[in-house]
Structure 1
Amino acid sequence: MLSHIGSSAIIAILLICAVAFGGSKDPLETVGSVDLERYLGRWFEVARYPTRFQNESCVVATADYSLMDNGQIRVLNTCWKDHADGEMQDKAEGRAKSVSDNNSRLKVSFFRPFWANYWIIDLGHDYEYAVVSAPSRKYLWILCRESSMDTALFDEIVARLESRGFQRERLLISRAQRERIDG
């Protein structure tokens, strides 16, 4: 009898932990399709999750995507001191390749032979914004064609992300977006 109660308690604890620590999250879905030609160009980071590989003191971060002769995408991530045409603080150059028929799942590499997931999970109809993550939800970037986006749109995107298991509290918001939010 005692061992039955102990087993039930252990099962109950495991179930509680599974729910509390993300066991109930649905698999991360990507957008229906991505026209890579329209996706190319400059994107500004308006918010992101903290990462160990991005400079915390970066004021403006941009990602520039261009098509390479071999069909892959050249990636140039740049950190600017004051504004996107000012003094460069740091940069990382890499490449990306589509790994899905609809181009919503890519792999990106900054250090060969290592490739990381780059999943486009939300995208504006006119490619005015994009949200990028990985299946684990460990990484998250909200990107925009301008240095900041309309606050109502930003709030809508964040609300959709929360409904998909992302945490608003973890977001690091860019200075330009913060200034727009604060008015």
Structure 2
Amino acid sequence: MIPLRSRRDPAPTTHLPDDVVGRLAACHAHIRRFLVDARGLATGAGDPSRRRESARAVLRYFRVALPLHEADEDASIAPRLERRSVGLARALLARMDEHGAIDVAIDLLCADWALWAGEGDPGHVVDFASHRRLLETLDVAMETHLGLEEREIFPAIHTLPESERRAIVVEMTERRR
């Protein structure tokens, strides 16, 4: 059975909420929170209207907000770190770009979340055992990915010039308009 609590609490942040790392850390906290909510849905238990609202929120987060976070990393952060050669090996930057595999798992899970949200194909049948296994795989992959970023990428971002960090924040803000 998948636990309803996160495996690990998010790394404590000492970053300002409006700086790049503060914003990324907030995104990581949201990812972890929505994974906890997704694990709750995977039990199949609970009040149907609350499950529907939770499924809508999980679906919206993974379809809308997570792709914006990935774009922040892929389009705004990784290229700057690579250009500046801030001591990060190309292999580390490549590991940061694990979004493709994560997105495949999310796409498969979205069909179930959409059904539970009342937005899916009514002919779709949820295999709860498969759903939980896929969610567990996603959870492990995501925690590995987030941990890597928090340990390696966040400190590297702090080495970028202030002007580049401000530009990243502007780009992040624009993406969400």
Q: TM-score, normalised by structure 1?
A: 0.23
Larger relative helix fraction: 2
Larger CA Rg, structure 1 vs 2? 1
